[in-house]
């Protein structure tokens, strides 16, 4: 390894004296790592449905959907968007933006939609 | 201020006794580790791990935090980006967590056989037990930590600010963090978990939103928008608008104020070298080269021509000699004589001779000459044409037929020639007429010509459109892909229709096709010959060409319309334009407040949850205290902490938002933490230094005896 790298101590050593179990013992090279759980799986394993509903837990402290009127802004410019293009589903502010919207390639339209999680997803 | 990590290795690790706790603020964005009782953490770095492959040795290494990016050139980072152990503030990948802890302890200077200090580590509020127990397992079994305590970062920050008199013992902590935003109500200095609420939005989303918006706005500079750069831009330029709609309107109208608010990031740009016009010398040199080449070509052509003339002359001489010889040969002997010359009869030789003379003349460039002369002789050439059939023998009849054929063709040719001459005359006459008109009244004439040109243009265009069936109802105009059917013209489409109906009709109902004569007409319609696609330029087009050329002659301002539609040339225009400084500027206008706006309106990024201000209301509702005085006390001490509350204007906006949902006249005070980023660690450090801290921890013995399930009930007392 290059001297530059060693001087910068960029790479994490694999052996530390202060550890009881070294990382190479826990995760041997070339062998499959033990499956870690996704957050969703962790939450499922918690069995929150068995807990009393008034007891706070990670899931039920999540805030509810907003009661305020949703802010609708132009997907391209960020201005207030009174209009909505039924073809592309993009919101737009005025005629100039509309022209732009119609000239956008579909890929960009989808990326704009993906920003607010409204893109067409193929499964 | 861009974030700078502190990763210098500490040397005083051994100076601390084994009772001094180590304090870790394990945030989703940054990892901070230091000693209890001190004011600042010793080591701070981004909570990420990269595992690239070394380019030469091929081994996979771990790199924790962010380092000098130039050093990463030795690694192949294309397959693994920076990874985080967190998902929505919950640690779930403990392998990554272990690398991070390794690095953190190592840089703190740890060098014994184990970490012989109590550890206070922060976690998210109401962390799932599994995550907490895994963390305990890691600390106890791998690092040999004697005892561990888990606390909530926002609570430590609140307590720290409470001690400094920023907020009261009753209040709300609003903590917009990196991946989540928490609101925690405090009563008597203790967090009330029942009233907590969490929105899954934070600084990460703001940066990501900005990154996406910029790369959509400037697709050519996409590579410039690295995560780190955009994070810096966000920290430097973003602010929260007091009222989004009015602020946006300001920008929409393009007012001066908005212009002042627009920030510009100039990317490195070097003006392209100015092309010098070629010097006189250069031009002369080039002209000389061209001239030389032309000369050579001319010489070559000349040489070729002379050889050809030579050849033809030789041939002619040979043929003439042959003919002379033939004079002396008997009629019956001719075939025998000609056997080895390749010719069969005298006539053949004569025709060959004529041909050779003609081509020789052509090569020499002499005029054709006797064309007319030949035609004079037509009558003598076709002597048999006017003689009635019954007077001729069989051979003569055949000859007559041949002559008839030749005569008609030559007649036709003559007629065509005459027509051409007449047309020329006609055109000449028209031109003269035009000229006369022009001289009489040039202005009027020009106007007339122009209208005529316009009319013709439209006519021709319409015709073209009809032919190609320019179906422009497609909403995307030019850019949209043209469907298959739209390429066919009207006639072709009609044929298609006929074919499909015919195919569809087959096999259903009784087949009485052909009973009527008209039925067969169908095949004619279907046949391909129907297409009058290539009938050549029609008269409109020729007239258009004439008018436009005439206009070009007399009107200096006239510019003929380009052949291919104007849209195409317009699209080509900007591409050919040289790049200027402005093309390398990234303008931040609306984006400056649009991105932080997602904290208040998470629906802008598709997260259907309450915004920052509304969440505060939700928390109060969840408390359901029905105690007006308590609620007023809470709103009178709202503390903002966490990295995402650094935006200018946030506290004003938050206050306005909370005022809207509170009863009229209720006191509202929103304050920002002393240091929203580091206060959590400082609070934890103070807490761990207190005498009562050991009672709040649980030891390795507890862990081995009671197991991880005990952790479920583990509750921390923040009041000491």
Cα gap B12→B42, rounded to integer Å: 11
> Which is higher by pLDDT, B536 or B120?
B120
Mean predicted confidence (pLDDT) in B37-44? 91
Task: For residues A25 and A45, state if they share a domain.
Answer: yes
Task: Flag whether B294 is in a domain.
Answer: yes
Nearest residue to B115 via CA among B101, B128, B127, B129: B101
Asked which of A61, A78, A98 is the last residue of a domain, the reply is A61
Same domain, B233 and B133: no
Assess contact for B50 and B77: CB atoms under 8 A: yes
Residues B617 and B667 in one domain: yes
Nearest to A103 by CA among B477, B568, B473, B470: B477
d(CA B313, CA B305): 12
The pLDDT, as a whole number, for residue B474 is 41
The structure tokens listed for A117 are 């999680």
Q: Which of B368, B390, B409 is the last residue of a domain?
A: B368
**φ and ψ at residue B212, rounded to 5 degrees:** -65, -45
Locate the chain B residue with the closest alpha carbon to A64.
B609
| Contact (Cβ atoms closer than 8 angstroms) between residue B372 and residue B357 | no
Question: CA-nearest residue of chain B to A40?
Answer: B87
Mean pLDDT, residues B558-578? 51
Q: How far apart are CA B253 and CA A94, in angstroms?
A: 12
- The better pLDDT of the pair B489, B279 is held by B279
- Cβ(A15)–Cβ(A22) below 8 Å: yes
Angle between helices B346-364 and B280-327 (to 10 degrees): 160
pLDDT at residue B370 tops 70? no
| pLDDT on residue B367 | 57
From chain A residues 95-114, the ones with a CB under 8 A of any chain B CB are 102-103, 105, 108, 111-112
Q: Which of B129-133, B492-496, B501-505 has the lowest mean pLDDT?
A: B501-505
For range A109-116, the mean pLDDT: 90
Residues A56, A42 share a domain: yes
CB-based contact, A67 to chain B, within 8 Å: yes
Q: Structural domain tally of chain B?
A: 3
Same domain assignment for residues A57 and A2: yes
Question: A66 and B609: CB-CB below 8 Å?
Answer: yes
Question: Across residues B430-445, what is the average pLDDT?
Answer: 82
Residue B485 lies in a domain: no
pLDDT value, residue A56: 85
The minimum CA-CA distance between A9 and chain B, rounded to whole Å, is 9
Q: How many residues does chain A have?
A: 123
Separation between Cα atoms, residue B140 and residue B135, nearest integer Å: 9
As a whole number of angstroms, the distance between CA A24 and CA B59 comes to 14
If asked whether residues A50 and A101 sit together in one domain, one would say: no
Look at residue B333 in the predicted model and tell me its pLDDT.
74
User: Is B688 among the domain residues?
Assistant: yes
- B696: Cα separation from own chain's centroid: 56
Do A68 and A55 share a domain, yes or no?
no
Structure tokens at B687: 């807490």
Q: What is the 3-state secondary structure (H, E, C) of A30-42?
A: CCCCCCCCCHHHH
Q: Does the beta carbon of B212 lie under 8 angstroms from any beta carbon of chain A?
A: yes
Same-domain check for residues A39 and A92: no
**B77-91, B203-217, B417-431, B674-688: the lowest-pLDDT one:** B77-91
pLDDT of residue B570: 43
| Nearest-5° Cα angle at B641, B639 to B643 | 155
Q: How many domains does chain A have?
A: 2
B626 and B650 housed in the same domain: yes
* pLDDT (0 to 100) of residue B576: 59
Provide the b/e sequence for B513-547 (b: ≥16 CB within 10 Å). eeeeeeeeeeeeeeeeeeeeeeeeeeeeeebbeeb
Residue ranges of B 462-521 with Cβ closer than 8 A to chain A? 475-477, 479
Domain containing A42: what range?
1-61
pLDDT at B640: 92
Interface contact B709, partner A, CB < 8 A: no
pLDDT of residue B215: 92
> Residue B183 belongs to what H/E stretch?
strand B181-187
For residue B365, give the nearest of B301, B287, B320 by alpha carbon. Answer: B301
pLDDT at residue A123 is higher than 60: yes
Q: Are strands B585-588 and B263-266 parallel, antiparallel or unpaired?
A: antiparallel
Q: What share of chain A is helix, strand, coil (3-state, %, to 5)?
A: 30, 5, 65
**Alpha-carbon span B121 to A36, nearest angstrom:** 21
CB B248 to CB A67 under 8 A?
Answer: no
Q: What is the pLDDT of residue B561?
A: 58
B221 shares its domain with B88: no
Non-local CB neighbours of B435 within 8 Å, separated by 6+ positions: none
Q: What pLDDT digit, counting tens, does each position of B130-162 carry?
A: 888 889 889 998 998 999 999 998 999 999 999
Beta strand B53-54 pairing with A83-84? unpaired
- B482 pLDDT higher than 50: no
Question: What percent of chain B shows pLDDT beyond 70?
Answer: 88
The C-alpha atoms of residue B327 and residue B475 are separated, in whole angstroms, by 85
Residues 59-88 of B with CB under 8 A from A: 61-64, 67-68, 71, 74, 87-88
Cα B339 from Cα B352, distance rounded (Å): 16
Instruction: Answer whether B117's CB lies under 8 Å from B650's CB.
Output: no
CA–CA distance, B229 with A113 (Å, rounded to integer): 24
> Are A55 and A70 members of one domain?
no
CATH classification of the domain holding B219: 3.90.640.10
Interface touch A102/B90, C-beta < 8 Å? no
Give the pLDDT band (50/70/90) at residue B510.
low
B30 and B106 fall within a common domain = yes
Please tell me whether residues B141 and B24 are part of one structural domain.
yes
Least confident segment among B23-27, B76-80, B309-313, B403-407: B76-80
Q: What is the mean pLDDT of residues B393-416?
A: 85
B475 and A23: CB-CB below 8 Å? Answer: no
Domain end, chosen from B368, B399, B418, is at B368
Domain boundary, last residue among A19, A46, A61: A61
Mean pLDDT of A50-71: 86
Q: Which of B537-541's residues contact partners 24+ apart within 8 Å by CB, and which partners?
A: B538/B463, B540/B456, B540/B459, B540/B460, B540/B463, B541/B460
Q: C-alpha distances in angstroms, B377 versus B396, B409, B410?
A: 20, 15, 12
> Which residue from B187, B34, B165 is spatially nearest to B682, judged by alpha carbons?
B34
Q: What is the mean pLDDT of residues A99-121?
A: 88
Of B368, B394, B423, the one marking the end of a domain is B368
Helix pair angle (A106-115, B203-217), 10° resolution: 160
In a domain? residue B575: no
Confidence of residue B480 (pLDDT cuts 50, 70, 90): very low
**Higher-confidence position of B369 and B657:** B657
Q: Which residues make beta-bridge pairs with B152?
A: B123
| Pick from B264, B248, B147: nearest CA to B214 | B264
**pLDDT for the residue numbered B471:** 46
Q: Are strands B263-266 and B698-699 parallel, antiparallel or unpaired?
A: unpaired
Q: How far apart are CA B16 and CA B216, in angstroms?
A: 53
**pLDDT tier at B44 (50, 70, 90 boundaries)?**
very high
Q: Give this complex's ipTM.
A: 0.92
- Residue B666 shares a structural domain with residue B706: no
Rounded-to-integer distance, Cα A62 and Cα B624, Å: 17
**Residues whose CB falls within 8 Å of the CB of residue B510, separated by 6 or more in sequence, listed in order:** none
Contact A71 B597 (CB under 8 A): yes
B116, B17 in Cβ contact below 8 A? Answer: no
- Which residue of chain A comes nearest to B114, CA vs CA? A18
Pair A82, A54 in one domain = no
Looking at the structure, do residues B20 and B118 belong to the same domain, yes or no? yes
Rounded to an integer, what distance in angstroms lies between the CA atom of residue B21 and that of residue B116?
9
User: pLDDT band at B175, cuts 50/70/90?
Assistant: very high
pLDDT (average), residues B372-377: 47
Per-residue pLDDT for B170 more than 60? yes
Answer whether B654's CB lies under 8 Å from B174's CB: yes
Residues in chain B: 720
Whether B219 and B354 map to the same domain: the answer is no
A46 & A86 share domain: no
* Burial group, residue A55, by CB count within 10 angstroms (0-12, 13-18, 19+): exposed
**Residue B63 confidence (pLDDT):** 87
B141 and B29 assigned to the same domain: yes
Torsions phi, psi for B585 (to 5 deg): -110, 135
B698 within some domain: yes
Q: What is the CATH number of the domain that holds B684?
A: 3.30.420.40
Nearest to A54 by CA among B182, B624, B199: B624
% pLDDT > 90, chain B = 22
Q: Is residue B438 part of a domain?
A: no
- Chain A residue numbers touching B63 (CB-CB < 8 A): 10-12
Q: Is B251 a member of any domain?
A: yes
Euclidean distance between the first and the last CA atom of chain B, given in angstroms as a whole number? 35
A70 and A45 inside one domain: no
Domain limits for position B44: 13-48+84-156+677-713
Q: Is B18 exposed, middle or buried (0-12, 13-18, 19+ CB in 10 A)?
A: exposed
Q: Looking at the domain assignment, is residue B687 inside a domain?
A: yes
- Distance from the Cα of A122 to chain B's closest Cα (Å) equals 18
- Closest CB to B618 among A64, A93, A117: A64
Helix (H), strand (E) at residue A106: helix A106-115
Considering the domain architecture, whether residues A76 and A56 belong to the same structural domain is answered as no
Q: What is the pLDDT of residue B564?
A: 43
Q: For residue B235, how many other CB atoms are within 10 A of its CB?
A: 16
Q: What region, left, alpha or beta, does residue B189 occupy, with left being phi > 0 and alpha being psi -120 to 50 degrees?
A: left
Same domain (yes/no): B339, B241: no
Looking at residue B395, its pLDDT comes to 82
Verify that A53 and A80 share a domain, yes or no: no
The residue that leads in pLDDT, B563 or A45, is A45
**B30 and B125, same domain (yes or no):** yes
């Amino acid at each position: 390894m290059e001297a530059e790298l060693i001087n910068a101590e960029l790479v994490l050593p694999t052996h530390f004296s202060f550890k009881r179990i070294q990382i190479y013992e826990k995760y041997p090279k070339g062998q499959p790592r033990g499956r870690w759980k996704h957050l969703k799986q962790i939450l499922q394993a918690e069995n929150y449905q068995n807990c009393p509903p008034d007891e706070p837990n990670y899931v039920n402290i999540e805030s509810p959907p907003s009661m305020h009127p949703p802010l609708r802004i132009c997907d391209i410019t960020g201005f207030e968007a009174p209009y909505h293009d039924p073809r592309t589903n993009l919101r737009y502010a005025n005629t100039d933006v509309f022209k732009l919207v119609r000239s956008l390639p579909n890929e960009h339209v989808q990326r704009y939609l993906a920003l607010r999680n409204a893109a067409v997803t193929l499964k | 201020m861009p974030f700078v990590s502190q990763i210098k290795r500490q040397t005083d690790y051994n100076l601390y006794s084994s009772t001094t706790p180590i304090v870790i603020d394990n945030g989703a964005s940054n990892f901070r580790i230091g000693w209890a009782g001190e004011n600042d953490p010793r080591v701070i770095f981004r909570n990420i791990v990269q595992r690239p492959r070394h380019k030469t040795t091929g081994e996979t290494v771990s790199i924790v935090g962010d380092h000098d990016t130039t050093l990463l050139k030795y690694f192949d980072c294309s397959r693994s980006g920076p990874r985080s152990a967190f998902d929505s503030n919950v640690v779930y990948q403990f392998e990554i967590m272990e690398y991070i802890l390794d690095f953190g302890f190592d840089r703190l200077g740890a060098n014994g056989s184990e970490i012989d200090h109590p550890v206070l580590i922060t976690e998210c509020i109401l962390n799932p037990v599994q995550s907490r127990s895994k963390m305990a397992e890691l600390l106890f079994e791998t690092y040999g930590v004697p005892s561990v305590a888990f606390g909530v970062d926002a609570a430590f920050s609140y307590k720290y600010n409470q001690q400094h008199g920023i907020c009261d013992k009753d209040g709300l902590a609003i903590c917009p963090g990196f991946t989540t935003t928490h609101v925690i109500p405090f009563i008597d200095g203790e967090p009330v978990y029942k009233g907590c609420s969490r929105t899954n939005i934070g600084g990460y989303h703001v940066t990501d939103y900005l990154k996406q918006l910029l790369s959509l706005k400037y697709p050519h500079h996409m590579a410039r928008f690295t995560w780190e750069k955009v994070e810096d831009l966000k920290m430097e330029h973003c602010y929260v608008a007091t009222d989004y709609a009015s602020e946006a309107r300001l920008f929409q109208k393009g007012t001066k104020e908005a212009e002042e608010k627009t920030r510009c990031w100039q990317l490195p740009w070097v003006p392209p070298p100015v092309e010098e016009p070629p010097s006189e010398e250069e031009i002369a040199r080039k002209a000389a080269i061209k001239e030389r080449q032309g000369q050579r070509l001319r010489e070559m052509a000349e040489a070729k021509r002379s050889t050809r003339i030579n050849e033809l002359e030789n041939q002619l001489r040979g043929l003439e000699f042959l003919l002379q010889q033939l004079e002396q040969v008997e009629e019956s002997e001719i075939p025998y004589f000609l056997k080895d010359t390749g010719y069969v009869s005298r006539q053949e030789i004569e025709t060959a001779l004529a041909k050779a003379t003609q081509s020789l003349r052509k090569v020499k460039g002499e005029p054709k000459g006797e064309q007319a002369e030949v035609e004079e002789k037509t009558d003598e050439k076709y002597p048999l044409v006017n003689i009635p059939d019954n007077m001729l023998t069989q051979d003569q009849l055949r000859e007559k037929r041949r002559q008839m054929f030749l005569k008609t063709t030559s007649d036709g040719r003559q007629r065509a020639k005459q027509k051409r001459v007449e047309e020329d005359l006609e055109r000449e006459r028209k031109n003269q007429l035009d000229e006369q008109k022009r001289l009489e009244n040039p202005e009027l004439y020009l106007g007339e010509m122009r209208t005529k040109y316009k009319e013709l243009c439209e006519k021709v265009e319409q015709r073209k459109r009809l032919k190609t069936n320019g179906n422009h109802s497609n909403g995307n105009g030019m850019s949209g892909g043209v469907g298959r059917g739209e390429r066919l013209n009207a006639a072709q489409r009609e044929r298609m229709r006929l074919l499909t109906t015919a195919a569809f009709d087959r096999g259903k109902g009784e087949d009485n096709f052909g009973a009527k004569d008209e039925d067969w007409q169908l095949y004619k319609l279907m046949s391909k010959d129907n297409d009058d696609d290539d009938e050549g330029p029609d008269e409109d087009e020729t007239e258009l060409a004439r008018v436009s050329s005439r206009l070009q002659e007399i009107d200096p301002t006239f510019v003929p319309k380009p052949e291919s539609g104007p849209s195409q040339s317009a699209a080509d225009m900007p591409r050919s334009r040289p790049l200027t400084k402005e093309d390398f500027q990234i303008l931040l206008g609306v984006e400056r407040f649009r991105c932080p706006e997602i904290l208040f309106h998470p629906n802008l990024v598709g997260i259907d949850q309450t915004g920052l201000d509304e969440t505060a209301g939700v928390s109060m509702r969840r408390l359901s205290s029905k105690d007006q005085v308590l609620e007023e006390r809470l709103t009178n001490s709202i503390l903002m902490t966490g990295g995402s509350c650094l935006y200018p204007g946030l506290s004003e906006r938050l206050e306005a938002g909370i005022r809207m949902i509170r009863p009229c006249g209720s006191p509202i005070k929103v304050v920002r933490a002393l240091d929203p980023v580091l206060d959590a660690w400082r609070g934890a450090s103070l807490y761990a230094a207190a005498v009562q801290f050991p009672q709040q921890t649980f030891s390795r013995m507890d862990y081995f005896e009671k197991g991880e399930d005990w952790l479920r009930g583990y509750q921390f007392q923040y009041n000491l």
